[in-house]
A = this chain, B = another copy of it.
Amino acid sequence: MIIDKKECLEFFLNNEEFLVISHEHPDGDTLGCAFALCEILKQMGKRRAFVCADEITGDFSFMTEGFVNDELSSPVRVSVDVADKNLFGKLPEDIIGNIDLAIDHHMSHTMFADKVYLENRAAACEIIYDLAKSLPVEINRYMRNCLYTGISTDTGCFRYNNTSALSFSIAAKLMEAGIDSARINKLMFETKTKSFLKLEMLSRETLEYHFNEKCAVITVNQEMYKQSGSTEHECYPITALPRQIEGVLVGVVIKEKEDGSFGISVRTDGDIDASEICARLGGGGHKGAAGCRADCGYEEIKERILASVKKSLDGIDL
């Protein structure tokens, strides 16, 4: 059931014990939401605990340092920034089977919870900020740092098209009150691991152009992970690279998985629809960013994705 802000506030006021749940492979937004919400609940004199299927990486240690879960007997369950039940990852069914409230900003949200508070915002942390302003709490520096982390990471530091006037105006208020933006920006946007640098170099050597250089393809294979000491988890920034090249309308990254299958990321520009390109191979996504998977060999998968790219480029003036 979709609820409004007032009902969402009542949910927090009327319950006493909360289990706050982030999605698997937790990012800045789901963690920023979770730890800001836990701080809100603590200030309100409630008992709260946090749970997530995967470990939290060191970048976010400023959120978790000194954080201790309260012991809970029969908490209500609140998910933050989780669009679909399968994104909880490997959490047991007795936790994720009965979510009482889902707070989310994905318009693709699949309504797995009893109550759903959904707002079309750049980051779920923007929703938590709005809630905090209406609750009897002080938005302290810790909370501000959590919320800024979520907003800045989900907007690519205010660069992606989802960035709104509201994102900027919340950032202005957080910064005016005081945040550690220099430290957070450095951690989130200005740090490259040595293994990632090597992976990036190796994968960039595979760069090839197609269709009058309107399409660029980069391949990342398991051998590169071995050579660089990097992992699939670090591969994400590479997916943006081919489309960033001057004149390229479709950027494709073909990533070999551990089991020998392939994941393909497509990023497009202008009027080219990435989700259409991926749908022809059974995948999906958004207009500018989509993906698909395939179990066939590398050459075949490349041929198939290029054939699909070609169809979407037809009619474009090459």
Contact = CB atoms under 8 A, between A and B. Distances in A.
B172 A165 contact: yes
Interface in A144-183: 152, 157-161, 163-166, 168-169, 171-173, 175-176, 181-182
A229 to B, nearest CB: 12
A192 B245 contact: yes
A62 interface: no
Nearest to A169: B172
A176 B172 CA distance: 14
A90 interface: no
A190 interface: yes
A157 B168 CA distance: 12
A245 B197 contact: yes
Contact of A201 (B159, B190, B192, B201): B201
A269 interface: yes
Given A164-B175, A169-B172, A186-B269, A194 B245 contact: yes
A153 to B, nearest CB: 12
Nearest to A185: B159
Interface of A: 152, 157-161, 163-166, 168-169, 171-173, 175-176, 181-182, 185-186, 189-194, 197, 201, 204-205, 207, 240, 244-247, 269
